[in-house]
Chain A
Amino acid sequence: MNVIECKNLTHYYGKKLVYEKLSFNVKEGSILGLLGKNGTGKTTTINILNGFLHPQNGECLIYGENTQNLSPQNKARIGFLIEGHVQYAFMNIHQIEKFYSKFYPKWDNAPYWQLMSKLQVSPKQKIATMSCGQRSQVALGLILAQDPDLLILDDFSMGLDPGYRRLFIDYLREYAKEKNKTIFTTSHIIQDMERLIDDLLIMDFNRVLAQRDVKSFMQEFKQFYLELDDPSVDISNEDFVINSEKVSNKLELYTYESEDTILNFLKNNGIAHKNFRQVKMGLEDAFIGLTGKY
Chain B
Amino acid sequence: MWKSILYKEWLKIRWFAFIYAALGILVVGNIFLKVQHDFEFSQAENYWYSILFQGNQFYEYSLFKFVPLLGALVIALAQYFPETVNKRIKLTFHLPLNENKALLAMMLFGAFCLLAIAAVLVVLFTGLSGMYFPSEIIQSALISVAPWFLCGFTVYFLTALIVLEPVWKYRFLYLLVAATLVPIYLQTAAARAYSPALPLLIVFTVLLSVALLFSGYRFRKGEM
Interface size on B, residues (CB 8 A): 24
Contacts of A98 in B (CB 8 A): 4, 7
8 Å CB interface, B167-224 against A: 219-222
Q: Secondary structure of the B side of the interface?
A: helix
A88 & B91 in contact (Cβ 8 Å cutoff):
yes
Contacts of B86 in A (CB 8 A): 82, 84, 86
A52 to B86, CA, bound (A): 14
B96 & A50 in contact (Cβ 8 Å cutoff):
no
B118 to chain A, nearest CB (A): 25
A69 to chain B, nearest CB (A): 9
A102 contacts B by Cβ under 8 Å: yes
B82 contacts A by Cβ under 8 Å: yes
B90 & A103 in contact (Cβ 8 Å cutoff):
no
B91 to chain A, nearest CB (A): 7
B12 contacts A by Cβ under 8 Å: yes
User: Given contacts A72-B98, A75-B96, is CB(A50)–CB(B8) below 8 Å?
Assistant: no
B85 & A52 in contact (Cβ 8 Å cutoff):
no
Q: Which residue in chain A gives the minimum CB-CB distance to B7?
A: A99
8 Å CB interface, A138-193 against B: none
A17 contacts B by Cβ under 8 Å: no
A7 to B70, CA, bound (A): 49
A54 to B220, CA, bound (A): 8
User: Given contacts A54-B221, A98-B7, A99-B7, is CB(A87)–CB(B94) below 8 Å?
Assistant: no
A52 & B219 in contact (Cβ 8 Å cutoff):
yes
B221 & A53 in contact (Cβ 8 Å cutoff):
yes
Contacts of B94 in A (CB 8 A): 50, 75, 78, 80
A47 to B93, CA, bound (A): 12
Q: Which residue in chain B gives the minimum CB-CB distance to A55?
A: B222
A242 to B204, CA, bound (A): 64
Contacts of A76 in B (CB 8 A): 96
A52 to B222, CA, bound (A): 5
Contacts of B4 in A (CB 8 A): 98-100, 102-103
Contacts of B87 in A (CB 8 A): 82, 86
Contacts of A100 in B (CB 8 A): 4
Q: Which stretch of A89-97, A220-228, A260-268, A276-284 is in the interface?
A: A89-97
A104 contacts B by Cβ under 8 Å: yes
B222 & A50 in contact (Cβ 8 Å cutoff):
no
A269 contacts B by Cβ under 8 Å: no
8 Å CB interface, B49-101 against A: 82, 85-88, 90-91, 93-98
Q: Secondary structure of the A side of the interface?
A: loop
A91 to B9, CA, bound (A): 11
Contacts of B8 in A (CB 8 A): 88, 91, 99
B1 contacts A by Cβ under 8 Å: yes
User: Given contacts A75-B94, A75-B96, A102-B3, is CB(A90)–CB(B221) below 8 Å?
Assistant: no
8 Å CB interface, B90-122 against A: 90-91, 93-98
CB contact between A73 and one of B11, B91, B96, B220 (< 8 Å): that residue: B96
Contacts of A53 in B (CB 8 A): 221-222
B1 & A86 in contact (Cβ 8 Å cutoff):
no
B11 & A91 in contact (Cβ 8 Å cutoff):
yes
A45 to chain B, nearest CB (A): 12
Interface mask (A27-69 → B, CB under 8 Å = 1, otherwise 0): 0000000000000000000010011111000000000000010
Q: Which residue in chain A gives the minimum CB-CB distance to B101?
A: A72
CB contact between A103 and one of B93, B95, B219 (< 8 Å): that residue: B95
A91 to chain B, nearest CB (A): 6
B82 & A89 in contact (Cβ 8 Å cutoff):
yes
Contacts of A78 in B (CB 8 A): 94
A51 to B92, CA, bound (A): 12
Q: Which residue in chain B gives the minimum CB-CB distance to A146?
A: B96
B85 to chain A, nearest CB (A): 7
Contacts of B1 in A (CB 8 A): 102-103
A157 to chain B, nearest CB (A): 18
A263 to chain B, nearest CB (A): 50
A84 to B91, CA, bound (A): 13
7 closest residue pairs by CB, A with B = A53-B222, A76-B96, A102-B4, A72-B96, A86-B86, A75-B96, A80-B94
Q: Contacts A75-B96, A89-B85 known; list 15 others, CB within 8 Å.
A: A50-B90, A50-B94, A52-B220, A53-B222, A54-B222, A75-B95, A75-B97, A82-B87, A84-B86, A86-B86, A86-B88, A88-B8, A95-B7, A103-B96, A103-B97
A and B contact pairs by CB, cutoff 8 A, 16 listed: A52-B90, A72-B98, A80-B94, A82-B87, A82-B91, A84-B86, A86-B88, A86-B91, A88-B82, A88-B88, A88-B91, A90-B82, A98-B4, A99-B7, A102-B4, A103-B96
